[in-house]
Structure 1
Amino acid sequence: MARFTAAAGFERDAGALPTEMRKNMEFFVVHLMKMIGDFTPDYEALKASGTRIIVGVGKESAGQPAHEAAVLAAGRLGVEPAYFPGDHGGFAAEAAAFAPLLREALGA
């Protein structure tokens, strides 16, 4: 977990996470990470779908793999990334600031 959090650009040491969160992270890494890492979106099919696609990126996550992947995906889709408050989990940590921007981005 320490290697994962360091590679992902998280400042917090996994050993310092609360026990339940650490268990969830370990499950994610052991069971789900390979599927995510092996997945490559069909960018051409997505672009041809006619569906408006918004790629959200945390303003504070620059340098983290999730940020870099999102910016790359937006570029391949030919859309500008939509920047939201916080880092990779800004939707939770910065919910009050995140929600109105999400509504605006979705046109709701």
Structure 2
Amino acid sequence: MSTYEVSDADLYYEVRGSGPLVVLVGAPMDADAFAPLADLLAPDHTVLTLDPRGVKRSTLAPGGTSRPEQRADDLAALIRHVDAGPAVVLGSSGGAVSALALAQYHPDVVRTVIAHEPPLDRLLPDADELLAKSEKLMAGYLAGDVVGAWKQFFQLANIYLPDDVAEMMFGGDRDPQQVAAERFWFGHEMRETITWLPDVAKLREADVMIGLGEESTGQLCDRTSTALAGLLGIEPTRFPGGHTGFADAPEPFAAALRTVLGARGETRP
């Protein structure tokens, strides 16, 4: 556990194990969300996890924000700092967008990027409608309607969440650090993430895989992931679980990831 200073942020990161480098990254998910998966991979991989800029233990200079290209710069700096790359990078959700930006802007530090369910709304034909709904829920959250905004978020994502569960998860007294990370997502990460447009030509030059949860059929990120895979001329690779399968079912997810890594020669003999 350590921190690394970049131009406008102090990045919290953790390194486990030894062997070929695997980076696990989310947005807004922090290092703790990937800890169980990282522990499973650590016996034969060096595993780097981190809190994205402005989230939890990674501090950000006043007025700073979190665009995919900034998060890509952060990842590149950390990979060079730990001096164990080039890396296989598994990014999930907003972290998948970070990983794609890394492959696009810093191809020298990556071997393979596995973009698990990137929420790239602008790839879809109904992008304007989707983005308008996102603007509404972001404004609602920042105005204080926390539970209502989260309900809209899950409805837009086509992920079923009962109202009583939403109230339990996002209402009442909560961990201030988690609330701060949430607010940063709605104020500084979400818009920048879902409106990012990848350079498909550059990504075709890299080893990019699109990951998709086996339980994500019909969800918004199923649509965005499938759209990007189509543009890249590849088929999505299925992983156990849904959008957060890496955290909800780390053991089968780790087994599936090991299969992918083994097929690419990214395991220690």
Residue aligning to 2:152 = 3
Question: Are residues 84 and 11 of structure 1, via their aligned partners in 2, closer, same or farther at CA, if it must alter by over 3 Å?
Answer: same
* Cα RMSD (Å): 2.0
Question: Are residues 17 and 88 of structure 1, via their aligned partners in 2, closer, same or farther at CA, if it must alter by over 3 Å?
Answer: same
Residue in structure 2 matching 1:41, options 198, 216, 220: 198
Question: Are residues 105 and 99 of structure 1, via their aligned partners in 2, closer, same or farther at CA, if it must alter by over 3 Å?
Answer: same
User: Using the alignment, how far apart are the partners of 1:62 and 1:22 within structure 2?
Assistant: 29
Structure 2 unmatched ranges of 5 or more? 1-149
Q: Which structure would you say has the larger Rg?
A: 2
* 1:32 and 2:160 are equivalent in the alignment: no
8 A contact 1:82–1:105 mirrored in 2: no
User: What percent of counterpart residues are identical?
Assistant: 33
Residue in structure 2 matching 1:66, options 221, 228, 246: 221
Residue in structure 1 matching 2:247, options 88, 92, 95: 92
8 A contact 1:15–1:22 mirrored in 2: no
Count of residue pairs the alignment pairs up: 106
8 A contact 1:9–1:63 mirrored in 2: yes
8 A contact 1:2–1:15 mirrored in 2: no
TM-score (norm 1): 0.84
Question: Are residues 29 and 62 of structure 1, via their aligned partners in 2, closer, same or farther at CA, if it must alter by over 3 Å?
Answer: farther
User: Using the alignment, how far apart are the partners of 1:104 and 1:29 within structure 2?
Assistant: 35
Q: 1:40 deviation in Å?
A: 0.5
TM-score (norm 2): 0.36
